[in-house]
Structure 1
Amino acid sequence: MSFDPGPLAEATVAGDGEQWSLIFVRALPHPPEKVWAALTERTRLDQWAPFAAARDLSVIGETTLTMVDGPDRTDLPATVLRAEAPTLLEYTWGDDLLRWELAPADGGTQLTLRHTFAKRDEAPMFLAGWHLCVAVLDRLLAGDPVGVIRGRDAIAYGWDELRAAYAEKLAG
């Protein structure tokens, strides 16, 4: 399969030494309602996200997100904290917090992901992973799905290069 993950997204990291938040911003040429459905519907999540969801994420409350890495599965507790269609989705994922903000922009959506976590040095890895996931999401929404790319499979699609490039971007 031919897959180009595209250029680096706008990305920054801020924190206080105890918690860090990466901010990943990407323009998608799809309406917020379509992006929202892909962020919340269990069957769509399984086509682009790094995890499988036990239920749709459009309803506040407890759930499980299962990390998928080849044959390995790791269940992590999750709680949907906010689900304001089609503009804001916020949930925990293990010890991390994910906040997806969707804003109409130029006939599409400006997607902003704020991922809060504990170890600053993990930021380039998370950015590389989210970059690939959102590139897969974009293709899925465009009707040209490439199949989910997650876990160790991401290495074959440029994850190492993206991690290094985001590390350089954050250092500069």
Structure 2
Amino acid sequence: MTFADAKVVADGDRWTLILIRELPRPPAEVWLALVDPARLDRWAPFSADRSLSDTGPATLTMVDGDERTALPAVVHRAEPPRLLEYTWGEDLLRWELEPSGTGTRLTLRHTLADRDLDAMVAAGWHLCADVLQRLLAGEAVRAIRGRDAMNHGWPELRDRYAARFAGS
């Protein structure tokens, strides 16, 4: 699977990575995968201490094998099933869901403080979105996180995204 579109745009003194993926399930199902801690834990790079369907503080914990790194988060907007926006550490993530045929067009706008991370972050979200796609199709899958991503093509994806973003 690939992102239908992937680019990096200047956003003041920060950079926004924009990734678009077509998913074959309706927005309401995709929404649940974005906000429900049990579902997030099956595809995202982090676990959540609570549902992200309500605004307010949360903790998103990066998972890398046995290592855990808790980062503060704040859900700023939760408008089911079309918009979810939260901070994660110093980053801002905005998930936009639009009906697309019988499925959903999912747009992630991940605002980064450091442009040098764009290809690495894109490769990580690419793998996560692949898992999400399979999860939504009903497959028994598990998240690809941290060092485990190296065994699932992350270095090659990072290099492809770096080449793609080089002219941005």
**TM-score, normalised via structure 2 length:** 0.96
Task: Report the equivalent of 1:124.
Answer: 119
Task: Report the equivalent of 2:25.
Answer: 30
Task: Report the equivalent of 2:151.
Answer: 156
Tell whether 2:45 aligns with 1:45. Answer: no
- Partners of 1:9 and 1:131 within 8 A in 2: no
Output one character per residue of 1:85-132: Cα deviation in whole Å (capped at 9) or x when no partner. 000000000000000000000110000000001111100000000000
SS in 1 for 2:162: helix
Task: Report the equivalent of 1:3.
Answer: none
1:19-168 → structure 2 map (5 Å cutoff): 19-168=14-163
Percent identity among equivalent residues? 61
CA–CA separation in structure 1 for the residues paired with 2:62 and 2:4: 23
SS in 2 for 1:58: coil
Output one character per residue of 1:118-151: Cα deviation in whole Å (capped at 9) or x when no partner. 1111000000000000110010010013211011
Q: What's the C-alpha RMSD, in Å, of the aligned pairs?
A: 1.1
| Misfit runs of 4+, over 3 Å | none
**TM-score, normalised via structure 1 length:** 0.94
- Partners of 2:37 and 2:50 within 8 A in 1: yes
Count how many residue pairs are aligned between Structure 1 and Structure 2: 167
SS in 2 for 1:103: strand
State the one-letter code of the partner of 1:36: W
- Partners of 2:3 and 2:20 within 8 A in 1: no
